[in-house]
Chains A and B, each alone.
Chain A
Amino acid sequence: MQGWWWRDPYFMRFMRREATAPFVAAYAAILLAGLASLALGESEYNEWLEALKSPLSIAFHCLLVAIFAYHTVTWFAIMPKTMPPVYLGGKRVAGALITGAGIAAAALSSILIWILVSRGAP
């Protein structure tokens, strides 16, 4: 079974989906580092902010945004398979609709977060 995932584009897509996981962990680690710096004090926190301004960090976060968008799409693409059948008006809801609804929810939630942050809340 060595290198089984190279055998079929379907398997390659699966591996790409799974490969988003380390990046989710990396971002959590970055936030945790920020939290730690916040607890240590203002100058340490500002160091963390400065680090985020470096070109390497900006580039890495651009990559993260793309990878997380891919995670969003693939998460909701597989979601119909993990759910019991949903019925609307007597008819079974197609998987594509569930995926679409999920992606729409992600878009909405993203806009909400942007609005909350840009208005200085909470």
Chain B
Amino acid sequence: MKRSNQPFFWMLFGAGGMLSALTAAMLAFITGVAAPLGLGLPAEAMSYGNALAFARGFPGKVFLLAVVSLFLWHAAHRIYHSLHDFGVRGGTVPWLACYGVALLGTLAAAALLLDLGF
């Protein structure tokens, strides 16, 4: 029987799932609720200067790339397999749509982070 290539995507799915399970709720709270409303965070928490400094630093680059990329790979794998639950199995178009978006997002994030410099 033909060996499946699922393991590669499954590992990315797992990494993204674990990262999001550990951090997504708090990240969404900080960036989407606390910082915009000024709840318990200093006013400059997400200022341009702070954000730029963070994105330029090595830890910031790793973190941002990991979050954007792995979240997308996690979602892509889960959405692709959920299509099967709705009766859509296989097919190149759904596969490319799901994993293609994750790849594009990863490349975009990497390119932007490089562009921002050190």
Is A bound to B? Answer: yes
Binding site for B on A (CB under 8 A): 1-2, 4-5, 15, 18-19, 21-22, 24-25, 27-32, 34-36, 38-39, 42, 45-46, 49, 52-53, 57-58, 60-62, 64-65, 68-69, 71-72, 75-76, 102, 105-106, 109-110, 113-114, 117-118, 120, 122
Q: Bound state CA distance, A36 and B115, in angstroms?
A: 10
Which of B28, B57, B76 is the one whose CB lies under 8 Å from A65?
A: B28
Q: Bound state CA distance, A25 and B73, in angstroms?
A: 8
Residues on B with C-beta less than 8 A from A28 are 67-69, 71-72, 75, 105
Interchain Cβ contacts under 8 Å between A and B, 11 examples: A18-B82, A25-B71, A38-B52, A38-B55, A39-B112, A53-B36, A61-B32, A71-B17, A75-B21, A113-B27, A122-B59
Q: Bound state CA distance, A120 and B24, in angstroms?
A: 19
Whole-angstrom distance between the Cβ of A120 and the nearest chain B Cβ: 6
Known A31-B68, A65-B29, A122-B54; contact A24-B42, beta-carbon cutoff 8 A = no
Q: Bound state CA distance, A18 and B48, in angstroms?
A: 35
**B88: CB under 8 A from chain A?**
no
Q: Bound state CA distance, A62 and B24, in angstroms?
A: 12
Inter-chain contact B40/A113, CB cutoff 8 Å: no
Please give me the residue from chain B that is nearest to A4 by CB atom.
B85
Inter-chain contact A32/B55, CB cutoff 8 Å: no
Inter-chain contact A109/B32, CB cutoff 8 Å: no
Inter-chain contact B40/A72, CB cutoff 8 Å: no
Known: A35-B68, A117-B41, A118-B40. 8 other contacts (CB 8 A): A19-B82, A21-B79, A32-B109, A36-B112, A53-B36, A53-B37, A113-B27, A122-B54
Whole-angstrom distance between the Cβ of B50 and the nearest chain A Cβ: 7
Whole-angstrom distance between the Cβ of B34 and the nearest chain A Cβ: 8
Please give me the residue from chain B that is nearest to A32 by CB atom.
B68
**B103: CB under 8 A from chain A?**
no
Residues on A with C-beta less than 8 A from B50 are 120
**B18: CB under 8 A from chain A?**
yes
Inter-chain contact A27/B28, CB cutoff 8 Å: yes
Residues on B with C-beta less than 8 A from A120 are 42, 44-45, 50
Please give me the residue from chain B that is nearest to A64 by CB atom.
B28
Whole-angstrom distance between the Cβ of B71 and the nearest chain A Cβ: 4
